[in-house]
Amino acid sequence: MRVPILKQGDILIASIQSALTDRDLLELRDELMHQVGKFRSRGVIVDVTVLDVMDSFAVRTLRALAHMVRLRGAETVIVGIQPEIAFAMVQLGLDLGGVTTALDLEEGLAFLARQGRRGAGSGSRG
Amino acid sequence: MGVEVEVEVEVVVSSEADIVRARQQGRALAQQAGFTGTDLALIATAISEAARNILEYAKKGEVFLRIVHQGETRGLSVEAQDKGPGIPDLPLAMQDGYSTGKGLGMGLPGMRRLMDQFEIRSKIGSGTTVKMSKWTRAHG
């Protein structure tokens, strides 16, 4: 596993450290899905700050990951998309299809904390 | 005025790791040619898509990365070629929204938007060649 996943309370934080191949991305998706169930996590943060390219495969995989995690009752936040990557994504016509994004890890954690307070005892959204 | 080649690097694409290698090489050359920031991301993304198309549709092919200049203006040119099955309906594949974002699309219109020049040739049964380039704005 090339991407370390840190467990902090009921949140999983995956910090991408280097360029990833397609297989690495799929592994990350599967591992996060597994850990969400294992640790009964409520939130997942994927930190993509170091990525200098997010091509169609990367975007599609992250979008699928977020949707799968949501079906398991947890919320995913993609954090750290760099401005030039955002520009390239828009030019290429890619979007994350309703997946929550945040500026950085701190904002991502704050978002999940707010979600947690709102959602306490009322189940998750579909 | 003709386009002259300063540096050429060939990357053989036959595995996922080669996609990463192609875009990293391309990014390094683009930097050497004088590109910065957003342009580097656009170029690397276009190379990644082109290399992925090779792997996806032809299994194997080559990406030629070249630092070029035309007069005072430098640029990066990318030529991605394969001997795959070719694209049956090129005008359709060039239509926006035909493939991008869903499935394993070719994303050709998107690639065209990332670069300054874009050209594609494809022949059923004999392969596809994509040529695209981007120019630095420093001199013009």
Break chain B down into helix, strand, coil percent, rounded to 5: 35, 35, 30
What ipTM score was computed for the predicted complex, to two decimals?
Answer: 0.87
Residue A72: domain span = 5-116
- CB pair distance less than 8 Å for B49 and A23: no
Residues B106-121 have pLDDT tens digits of 689 889 999 999 999 9
Q: Does B44 touch chain A (CB under 8 A)?
A: yes
Using CB atoms, pick whichever of A52, A57, A94 lies closest to residue B44.
A52
Distance CA B112, CA B109 (A): 5
pTM over 0.80: yes
Distance CA B105, CA B98 (A): 8
Local confidence band at A123 (pLDDT 50, 70, 90 cut-offs): very low
- Which residue, B116, B113, B115, is CA-closest to B94? B113
DSSP 8-state secondary structure symbol assigned to residue A65: H
Tokens of B59: 């299994």
Query: In sequence order, what are the residues at sequence separation of 6 or more whose Cβ sits closer than 8 angstroms to the Cβ of residue A122?
Result: none
Smallest CA–CA separation between B20 and chain A, in Å? 6
Residues B8-54 have pLDDT tens digits of 999 999 999 999 999 999 999 999 999 999 999 999 999 999 999 99
Tally of domains in chain A: 1
- Which residue, A18, A8, A20, A12, is CA-closest to A55? A20
Taking contacts as CB-CB distances below 8 angstroms, the residues of chain A near B27 are: 52-53
Position A125 in a domain? no
Position A121 in a domain? no
Tokens of B48: 């990644």
What CATH number matches the domain at B4-135, 3.10.20.30, 3.40.630.30, 3.40.50.2020, 3.30.565.10?
A: 3.30.565.10
Chain A interface, best mutation among B45, B47, B104, by max A CB count within 10 A:
B45
Tokens of B123: 């022949």
Position A89 in a domain? yes
Residue A58 and residue A51 in contact, taking contact as beta carbons nearer than 8 Å: yes
